[in-house]
Amino acid sequence: MAFDGVWDRRSLLRGAAVAAGAAATVPMLGAAVTARAGGGDTDSDIPPDTLPGGAYDKYVAQLAAAGKFSGVVLLSHKGRTVLSRSYGMADKEKGIANSEDIAFSLSSAGKPFQAVAVLQLAQQGKLKLSDTVGTYLTGFTKDIAEQVTIHHMLANISGMESPDEDVQRIFQSREEVQEFYGQWARHSKLAAPVGTPTGHAGAEIVIPALIVQAVTGKTYWDYVEENIFKRCGMTGSAFFTRPQWLTDAHIAHPYMTLADGSVVDAVRNLDKSSSNPSTPGKNPGRGFIDAPGDGGFATAPDLVRFARALSDGTVLERPYADVLTAAKSPHMPQSFGAYQMPVRIVSGQWVHGRAGANPGVGASWNIYPYTGWVGVILGNGDGVALQELSGREVQAVTGGAPGGGGGGG
């Protein structure tokens, strides 16, 4: 499964200090950069740091010029693009540059789609958040089947512990992925009382997706593509398979750094593994498709469309969208766990979002519901601190210290 992009307490405090400074002015890159400022939005509440040539723009350009960022950043205000930058290559072998049209692996940043899918079924009366695992699935231990509810898993307070994954395994089909993770989740155990925060155990991601499948009769991937991506107008987003990753010109390849400092295209080098302490031995290309409940691919504009669909009732009825983002459990004084995402208070306003990382993959999206902003960061290389980059975005939009508000993942 994808590395969980939720910042821990230590990294939050470190990120707050790092992000407090201003970005230096640097020249823009040449042909590797595309830029677009949108729509003539003249509202007085557009912070200068979010504009083309502002502090955030200069900071990202500085990272790209130093070879520390390859990907796309986008800031949207009330449906209008304020800043859009693309750097680096989506596929170096084929000479395809990154752009707004390129879909990037989301890693853990795709986990909230699973919560949205569950809430769609809840609003239709097809399941209840208080239902236990055993209401829909068999093969789990008695204590998990009878005590752990859908709510506990979405809020990451199930008390479950998941078995280790075989990160060296190379999957060859959707069916193999489905079978493996179904059995893997059933080997979970209850390691703490139900209601105990679990640090996002993998089973809390897979089991709700298995419940979606049991209720709908569709694979998780098909259900989300039909009922979330399609309804939101996310035409560039999907749960792509490895063969598609290798052949589709609109999918960014993950460029993974090895222990010797060399960089390889992970999906074209399945025998190579990450040496990053956060993702040891992993290679995102080994999964034929992302595990049920996790990941997916999206373009930056599609993630803005998803954010807008959450706010206008397109993908969830408004009360259920509020259930998705409502604070469920405290993480830090101004950071809370919601359903498969953290939410936090920065400069007196809520910020909802999710981040995720894997070797050669970094993704983050933030929604600022009070002011109508959406920020997206999608990367396809190692070397940049995603938390710091997301923190600079939060700082540009809110004017606040990004780490002071809590989680960014």
DSSP states along 80-132: EEEEEEEESEEETTTTEEP-TT-BEE-GGGGHHHHHHHHHHHHHTTS--TT-B
* Confidence at 1, pLDDT banded by 50, 70, 90: low
Residue 121 Ramachandran class (φ > 0 left, ψ -120 to 50 alpha, else beta) = alpha
Q: What mean pLDDT do residues 61-77 have?
A: 96
* Confidence at 25, pLDDT banded by 50, 70, 90: very low
Q: Are 107 and 361 within 8 A, CB to CB?
A: yes
Q: Are 150 and 130 within 8 A, CB to CB?
A: yes
Q: Residue type at 41? A: D
Q: What mean pLDDT do residues 263-274 have?
A: 97
Q: What is the pLDDT of residue 193?
A: 96
Q: Token digits for 204?
A: 């809390």
pLDDT digits (tens, 9 = 90+) for 311-342: 999 999 999 999 999 999 998 899 999 999 99
The closest of 146, 35, 180, 184 to 97, measured between CA atoms, is 35
DSSP string for 231-268: HHT-TT-B---HHHHHH-TTBPPPEEEPTTS-EEEGGG
Q: What mean pLDDT do residues 268-277 have?
A: 94
pLDDT digits (tens, 9 = 90+) for 108-147: 999 999 999 999 999 999 999 999 999 999 999 999 999 9
Q: What is the pLDDT of residue 44?
A: 59
Q: How confident is the prediction for the chain on average, in pLDDT?
A: 89
Q: What is the pLDDT of residue 403?
A: 53
Residues 391, 11: Cα–Cα separation, whole Å: 12
Which range (67-76, 211-220, 381-390) has the least confidence? 381-390
Q: What is the pLDDT of residue 22?
A: 32
> What are the two backbone dihedrals, phi and then psi, of residue 392, each rounded to the nearest 5 degrees?
-65, -35
pTM: 0.89
Q: How many CA atoms does the CB half-sphere of 98 hold within 13 Å?
A: 31
pLDDT exceeds 70 at position 6: no
Residues 283, 271: Cα–Cα separation, whole Å: 8
